[in-house]
């Protein structure tokens, strides 16, 4: 459960950033406490805040496929709808293109943002994945990314801007399907957009909205140590996925420039503190790359590094992105790598690749029209 202190911090942050874009405010990123304050300012009873929140995060996404407008909130007084239309905005999100893979994966190229006072228009990508247990959506938290991981298409584009919590929510609503799981693993580094990422989790799990369980949310990070430690303080029940990709600094830095600022030793110490504080198992993402990080010696080093840590290793044969010459580890070597970890009592699995034929697999999102 998100603490009262955390809610007050979010409230303070939001109220002090309402005029960030000038004029009207981003209502889809507001929580119920903020909506109550807004209703008070508009001379409306507090219960109107819950009605507005339900329209934004529950009724409209299911009833109209994300076709948002204040005029459609037909259980609100006409005067209030007009005031909301004048004083607030809902950042538009439009589907520019859909690419469908044979395995059921759908990649969406989305346009988010618009004219002033809204955030600038940018393209992002989201992915809908079909599993036996239900639908999962991989969302973006930034347009572009400044982390520069060499195996990631997004990392080659640089950072355009952060996404708001509302824009993250709209990616979930835009697929217009019941969603069981959300992975914050699309374009961008969630912990580089810390406040809005946490705000998204608050909104998407609210019982008056989508009411998704925190345990069905995975947040992926390349390993920003201060933010991991700060996240631990909130004791969320999400799954934290840390991109490791190497058992030593030299290997990590060759694949992830940000690793120069976050040594493996310090990162693992932060992960241990996170696991001990939250009692949640950490997933370590490891992109198996032929001749770079997949040797038997590196498998043994990784097992030694993770000894005693509450964790699981997700081995991902690196996906081609057309920007590097990196090749995925062959199946036999990948299986042997996993076996070395398992023999050391480190849970490890090899991720099944889905969506690669439409460039929707891990590391392939680029947010381009091609």
Phi, psi of 7 (to 5 degrees): -65, -40
Q: What b/e sequence results for 174-184 when a residue is b if at least 16 CB atoms lie within 10 Å of its CB, and e otherwise?
A: bbebebebbbb
> Cα–Cα distances in Å, from 47 out to 14, 24, 52?
20, 22, 9
Packed helices 47-54 and 32-41: angle between N→C axes, nearest 10 degrees: 120
In whole angstroms, give the CA distance from residue 338 to residue 330.
12
Strands 348-350 and 134-139 come out as unpaired
Q: Write down the residue that tokens 């991989």 correspond to.
A: 138
In whole angstroms, give the CA distance from residue 10 to residue 73.
26
Instruction: Count the Cβ atoms, other than its own, within 10 Å of residue 98.
Output: 12
Strands (E), 203-327: 217-221, 239-243, 282-288, 311-317
Closest CA to 364 of 316, 324, 320: 320
Which region holds residue 311: left if phi is over 0, alpha if psi is between -120 and 50, else beta?
beta
> Cα–Cα distances in Å, from 329 out to 82, 97, 247?
58, 32, 16
Dihedral of the alpha carbons of 187, 189, 194, 199, in degrees to the nearest 10? 30
41, exposed or middle or buried, with CB in 10 Å at 0-12, 13-18, 19+?
exposed
Task: List the catalytic residues.
Answer: 125, 362
């Amino acid at each position: 459960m998100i603490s009262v202190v955390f809610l007050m911090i979010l409230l303070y942050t939001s109220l002090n950033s309402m005029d960030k874009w000038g004029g009207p405010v981003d209502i889809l990123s507001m929580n119920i406490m903020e909506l109550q304050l807004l209703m008070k300012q508009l001379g409306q009873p507090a219960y109107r805040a819950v009605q507005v929140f339900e329209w934004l995060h529950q009724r409209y996404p299911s009833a109209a496929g994300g076709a948002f407008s204040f005029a459609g909130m037909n259980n609100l007084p006409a005067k209030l709808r007009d005031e909301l239309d004048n004083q607030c905005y809902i950042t538009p999100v439009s589907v520019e293109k859909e690419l469908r893979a044979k395995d059921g994966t759908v990649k969406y190229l989305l346009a988010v943002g618009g004219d002033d006072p809204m955030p600038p228009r940018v393209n992002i990508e989201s992915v809908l994945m079909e599993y036996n247990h239900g639908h999962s959506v991989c969302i973006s938290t930034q347009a572009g990314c400044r982390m520069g991981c060499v195996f990631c298409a997004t990392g080659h584009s640089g950072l355009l801007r952060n996404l708001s919590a509302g824009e993250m929510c709209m990616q979930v609503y835009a697929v217009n399907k019941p969603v069981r799981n959300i992975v914050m693993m699309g374009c961008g580094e969630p912990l580089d957009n810390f406040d809005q990422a946490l705000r998204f989790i608050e909104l998407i799990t609210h019982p008056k909205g989508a009411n998704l369980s925190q345990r069905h949310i995975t947040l992926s990070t390349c390993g920003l140590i201060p933010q991991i430690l700060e996240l631990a303080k909130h004791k969320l029940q999400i799954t934290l996925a840390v991109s490791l990709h190497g058992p030593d600094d030299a290997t990590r830095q060759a694949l992830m420039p940000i690793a120069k600022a976050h040594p493996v030793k310090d990162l693992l110490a932060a992960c241990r503190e996170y696991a001990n504080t939250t009692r949640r198992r950490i997933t370590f993402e490891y992109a198996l790359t032929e001749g770079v990080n997949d040797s038997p010696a590196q498998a043994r080093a990784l097992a030694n590094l993770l000894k005693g840590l509450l964790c699981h290793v997700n081995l991902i044969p690196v996906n081609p992105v057309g920007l590097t010459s990196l090749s995925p580890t062959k199946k036999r070597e990948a299986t042997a790598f996993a076996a070395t970890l398992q023999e050391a009592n480190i849970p490890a699995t090899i991720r099944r690749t889905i969506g690669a034929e439409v460039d929707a697999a891990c590391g392939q999102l680029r947010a381009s029209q091609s």
